[in-house]
Amino acid sequence: MPHYPHTHLFLRPTTTTVISGPHIQVLDSSTGVIRHSVADPAGPVRCAAVDAQGKHLATAGDDKTLKVWKTEGMELVNQRELPKRPTAIKFTADGQTILTSDKFGDVFSYPFHYTPLTVEQKKDALASHANPSGGKLVLGHTSLLNAFLLTPDEKYIITADRDEHIRVSWFPQGYNIEMYCLGHTKFVSAIHNPPFAPSDLVSGGGDPMLKIWDWMTGTLKHEIRVWDAVEPYIRVRIPKRRRGEEDEEDSESRRKARGKKAEGKGKAKEAESPVETAAKEEEGVPAATTPTGPETRDTPTPGEEEKADKVLVIRKIDTVPSTRHVVFSAVGATALFTTPYPGDGTVPDVRAFDLGRPVLNFVVADDGLVWVSLDGNWPEATSEKPEKAFVRVLDATSGELAEATLASPLLDALNSAALQPASTEDLEQLDLYGDLSAMPKGHEPEEGGDASTKAEAPVTKRTIGRLRNKQAVLEKAQAMATATASTPAADDEVQEPSAKKTKSEHGDESRQDVDMVQE
């Protein structure tokens, strides 16, 4: 009988929280004993986060409800409605604010303590299209927001979207944009701020390389080519789109943008189509072409091979501070990948550790061990690892990934007592590989792919126009950065971005004022 795979894993010295579909369990990290367990009646948990102390868990799913739990006893503290389906959740360092991003490109902040709105307040919120739970809008993108993070000092929020943009904004004043990191030609699905290099940002998505930026200046410092290493391990494929489908999707996005502008201007016909599209997205219906359940995820037969694409979607990026290595995974790939953090003049190589089944998630622990969550229901295990493991532990302390040799009651429990039974329909609802069809705007092969296939999909005028526009934005951003570096910073009230003082400069002035008062 199939079981729910573990999609979220939060390791703490005393307790470990694991989420498998709708099931949330808290285990003793030393003994593996299940302390608390609860099933969310709303269905699978899509997004989750634990605060820095490990005392509270925030979850959200297709019902668009943000729920806050106490990990001790799994008591529901509060819940509130979200305006759109979320894509990520994070706590601030003090645990008093919860941030959410959503499919419509917005980031909202919510206080930890929630007072439900009165009937009149709800009516006012609906009338003004405000957040139904009193959330504060931090910033917004015009495209699906895939990832965001706060810098260690929480002065900035860095966001990445499906339209290849990485934006650096002030936090919580997200309307102040500090910088753009422009250079990706495809969606950005994962970003990471290394603890040993806080001024750097590692990003990846659909491009055949990871990029490392100086996020404050928008300067591209390094590129790490990963496609050649990842491609052999991608086991989940999706059908090719017919010619013209990418254009239809792009035009739908543009109609949606025009629809928003048309509100109140007598252009209801333009706005009608995007409203219907948004309604369908909100229903949470998984894409029909997404390979999910065991019976539908089989590798294509030889006759179907040319009808399926290998699509690169970087799922997660992390680092091992003790060895200064980057660890990352890709959607539908059976291996976990690692590469040395690049230095000046070095070209790091990418190494893979094949786990036999698609990697769903991983966590780098403080001791250098990497806990990897796998799709244990995958029917095509390799001969080296035929056993049905849902979690495995790798050792990254030597700089290379290797199977960890440890006797862990927690690991045993995650592969036995903590497994929850699931039906084929339950697994299909998880939509484990939905990003393979949701992220790309077209499924053309990556760099180094089949040239004959590339020729079948010529670049459209719309694509050329988008690339030209992006190049113009990039040149303007570079000019702004050059002007900022060559001219003194102006007063804070000046609205031109090139003359704006960075937030760190404001912080330095404040500290100087405090020092003068103390003297």
Highest mean pLDDT among 126-140, 238-252, 356-370, 377-391: 356-370
- Evaluate if residue 133 carries a pLDDT over 60: yes
Confidence at residue 272, expressed as pLDDT on a 0 to 100 scale: 41
Q: For 33-92, write each residue's pLDDT tens digit.
A: 999 999 999 999 999 999 999 999 999 999 999 999 999 999 999 999 999 999 999 999
Higher pLDDT, 338 or 501: 338
Residue entry with tokens 């409800």: 65
Distances (CA, A) of 40 to 24, 25, 66, 78, 87: 8, 11, 12, 14, 18
Q: What pLDDT does residue 124 have?
A: 59
Rounded to the nearest integer, the mean pLDDT of the chain is 80
Domain-located, residue 336: yes
Say which residue, 167 or 482, is predicted with more confidence.
Answer: 167
Query: pLDDT: is 121 or 238 the higher one?
Result: 238
pTM: 0.76
Residue 185 falls within a domain, yes or no? no
In angstroms, the CA 502 to CA 489 distance is 9
Strands 209-214 and 200-205: antiparallel
Confidence tier at 246 by pLDDT (50, 70, 90):
very low
Phi, psi of 65 (to 5 degrees): -120, 125
Predicted confidence (pLDDT) at residue 343 exceeds the cutoff of 80: yes
Does some domain include residue 32?
A: no
Instruction: Kindly report, residue by residue over 109-123, the tens digit of the pLDDT.
Output: 999 998 776 766 665
Among all chains, which residue has been given the structure tokens 């490990």? 54
User: Which pLDDT value is given to residue 377?
Assistant: 95
Pairing of strands 402-403, 65-70: unpaired
The amino acid sitting at 392 is R
Q: Let me know if residue 325 belongs to a domain.
A: yes
pLDDT of residue 463: 55
pLDDT of 308: 73
Total of domains in the chain? 1
The 8-class DSSP code of residue 192 comes to: E
Q: What angle do CA 129, 165, 490 make, to 5 degrees?
A: 85
Q: Determine the Cα angle at 394 with ends 391 and 395, to 5°.
A: 155
In-domain check, residue 462: no
pLDDT in tens, 391-413: 999 999 998 999 998 889 999 99
Q: Quickly list H helices, 130-267.
A: 227-230, 245-262
pLDDT of residue 470 exceeding 60, the answer is: no
Name the nearest CA neighbour of 327 among 345, 346, 348. Answer: 348
Measured distance CA(452)–CA(447) in Å, rounded? 13
User: pLDDT value at position 498?
Assistant: 39
217-233 pLDDT per residue, tens? 999 999 999 999 999 99
Dump pLDDT digits (tens) for 157-168: 999 999 999 999
Peptide bond connecting 172 to the previous residue in cis, omega within 30 degrees of 0 = yes
Confidence band for 442, pLDDT divided at 50, 70 and 90? low
For residues 38 and 474, the model is more confident at: 38
Whose CA is closest to 157, among 96, 107, 207?
107
pLDDT at 461: 58
Give the whole-angstrom CA distance, residue 393 versus residue 364. Answer: 10
Could you tell me the residue range of the domain that residue 352 belongs to? 291-416
Of the pLDDT bands very low, low, confident and very high (cuts 50, 70, 90), residue 471 is: low
Separation CA 418–CA 438 (nearest Å) = 30
Q: Which position has the token pair 């090719």?
A: 240
Q: Is the pLDDT of residue 31 over 50?
A: yes
- 465-499 burial, b at 16+ Cβ within 10 Å, e below that, comes to eeeeebeeeeeebeebbeebeeeeeeeeeeeebbb
Establish if 431 belongs to a structural domain: no
Averaged pLDDT, 243-247: 45
Cβ(225)–Cβ(201) under 8 Å?
no
In a domain, 409, yes or no: yes
DSSP state of 290: -
In this prediction, residue 344 has a pLDDT band, given cuts at 50, 70 and 90, of confident
pLDDT reported for residue 387:
67
Q: How far apart are CA 362 and CA 333, in angstroms?
A: 13
pLDDT tier at 287, thresholds 50, 70, 90:
very low
Task: Tell me the per-residue pLDDT of 306-317, one tens digit each, with 9 for 90 and over.
Answer: 457 899 999 999
Q: Answer yes or no: is 360 within a domain.
A: yes
In this prediction, residues 354-381 reach a mean pLDDT of: 94
Nearest-angstrom CA–CA distance, 140 and 158: 12
